[in-house]
Structure 1
Amino acid sequence: MGRRSTRGAGTRWRSSRTVWLYFRFPLSFREVEELMLERGVNVSHESVRRWCAKFGQSYANALRRRRVPLGDKWHLDEVLIQIDGERKYLWRAVDTDGTVLDILVQNRRDRAAARRFFRRLLKTTRSVPRVIVTDRLRSYGAAHREVMPSDEHRSHKGLNNRAENIHQPTRQRERAMKGFRGVGGAQRFLSAFSGIPPHFRPRHLTTATYCRAETTTRFAIWDRITGVAGPPAAA
């Protein structure tokens, strides 16, 4: 029984660290394999791929459940991405503090797509904003009147920089991965990606001491949600 428990703990630690490496840094599965080997941990790139697919979303969801209360002003934006050579649109919503509320990859950016994203947001967050801020895309106004008519809608290009800036990490990762291979894979990766890296990037840093303390705390939270007590003992 003891051996089985130790082996299970070791697997949890390996999967936790490989998922963290893959989503936190612009690394390929083989590069994660190499970094783990440098630490004396032998895992294959195929195991890294399976663990990221199996645990990435659940870890991101667990982090989202621990986040502070959402702001009541939501910023929405959509950006063009290439998936297997085809044009798709990544819809994203953030609150006033820049916390990503949800993302959705869709084929279009028409009223039906905006309406689908609004309804998904309400279901995912289980809350209703006081104000939503968008650019001047008419699809937002039409969907707003249909789904959230009681909320204030501010439509102005200059007001929506917060949502537009949050696309930058996705662009960087898209280039590192040389594009996405399919809509489903892009949705799964970006949904986990929008939840895991921000957890390890504290905002409003003041000193190096504070930064280290806050990062240590966030690693402790990560270990709790992934079921890890610490590094596995050497064989």
Structure 2
Amino acid sequence: MSKTKKTLPSGVGKVLKRLHYPFDVILVSVRWYVAYSRSLRNLEEMMAERGVDVDHSTVHRWVIKLVPLFEKAFLRHKRPVGGSWRMDETYIKMGGQWKYLYRAVDKGGNTVDFLLRARRDRVAARRYFEKGIERNGEPETVTIDKSGANLAALDALNAKPETPIRIRQIKYLNNIVEQDHRAIKRMVRPMMGFKDFRCARIILSGIEIMHMIRKGQMKGDNSRSVAEQFYSLAK
């Protein structure tokens, strides 16, 4: 087992203190959870069918520990997005209450960024835009629905720059991001609602990473499979 630890990437070795399973088993389990509409108990059964006896809580722990590392790695390899953003928020249930996942795509359907917030208001919307701009640069145009909170957030950002962001409030132009929400919501549904905000944020990050890889948003050899691209983030 010590030999296996020596072969681990340094970042992974820091978060996985003890390896009771081969690293490839861990990677497969994490990818399956964020890539497919399956619950943790489904994964426990699927691994058992393959001769691997692992508890669903162990898989959950692997996801929570490794996904933040994968997200950092993915950001270094993410392709640039376009300057025309379509932004909207969708509902995510957590502990029996609705929380809000802010998301945007460019006009080509590429994911710009995402942010889970407890409230749906101007502060949350502004934080989302600040995060998106920090990671992707300032957009030329942002299309939103009739949300007053989103408009207020953009107006606040436009109070500073010399060249303000063009704002469009045209609902039908946001169909592309509303359709993109469905891929995320389809993944979340079998998870039966999140219990913890931090865990929800991490798991949603993993789901978003897989979604972006599928859309071809990762730099590198596009001849590699989606699984191979995901596993490369652990190197």
Identify the residue that residue 108 of structure 2 maps to in structure 1: 97
- CA drift of 1:23 comes to 0.6
Identify the residue that residue 157 of structure 1 maps to in structure 2: 171
- CA drift of 1:56 comes to 1.6
- 2:148 pairs, out of 113, 124, 138, with 138
Q: Structure 1 length as normaliser, TM-score?
A: 0.80
- CA drift of 1:31 comes to 2.1
- 2:64 pairs, out of 27, 48, 53, with 53
- Residues 18-27 or 103-112, more deviating: 103-112
Q: 1:168 to 1:138 in 2, by over 3 A?
A: same
Structure 1 vs Structure 2 CA RMSD: 2.5
Aligned-residue identity in percent: 30
Q: Is the 8 A contact 1:76 1:91 kept in 2?
A: yes
Identify the residue that residue 234 of structure 2 maps to in structure 1: 226
Q: Per the alignment, in what secondary structure is the counterpart of residue 75 of structure 1? A: strand
Q: 1:223 to 1:166 in 2, by over 3 A?
A: same
Q: Partners in 2 of 1:25 and 1:215 — Cα distance? A: 21
Pair 1:86-2:101 in alignment? no
- CA drift of 1:8 comes to 5.8
- CA drift of 1:202 comes to 5.4
Gaps of 5+ in 1: 204-212, 228-235
Pair 1:196-2:210 in alignment? yes
- CA drift of 1:215 comes to 6.8
Which amino acid is 2:169 matched to? Answer: S
Alpha-carbon displacement from aligned partner over 1:63-91 (angstroms, at most 9, x marks no partner): 34222221111111012332212232221
Identify the residue that residue 82 of structure 2 maps to in structure 1: 71
Identify the residue that residue 210 of structure 1 maps to in structure 2: none
Pair 1:182-2:174 in alignment? no
Identify the residue that residue 50 of structure 2 maps to in structure 1: 39
- CA drift of 1:33 comes to 2.4
Alpha-carbon displacement from aligned partner over 1:95-145 (angstroms, at most 9, x marks no partner): 22322222222233222222122112222x141111111111122222112
Identify the residue that residue 207 of structure 1 maps to in structure 2: none
- CA drift of 1:19 comes to 0.6
Q: Is the 8 A contact 1:63 1:199 kept in 2?
A: no
Pair 1:121-2:132 in alignment? yes
Q: 1:143 to 1:219 in 2, by over 3 A?
A: same
- CA drift of 1:53 comes to 0.5
Q: 1:42 to 1:144 in 2, by over 3 A?
A: same
Q: Partners in 2 of 1:221 and 1:81 — Cα distance? A: 27
Alpha-carbon displacement from aligned partner over 1:167-192 (angstroms, at most 9, x marks no partner): 11232233212222233222222122
Identify the residue that residue 108 of structure 1 maps to in structure 2: 119
- Residues 8-17 or 179-188, more deviating: 8-17
Q: Partners in 2 of 1:122 and 1:225 — Cα distance? A: 23
Q: Partners in 2 of 1:38 and 1:176 — Cα distance? A: 20
Gaps of 5+ in 2: 8-20
Q: Is the 8 A contact 1:77 1:92 kept in 2?
A: yes
Q: 1:218 to 1:85 in 2, by over 3 A?
A: closer
Q: 1:26 to 1:8 in 2, by over 3 A?
A: farther
Q: Structure 2 length as normaliser, TM-score?
A: 0.80
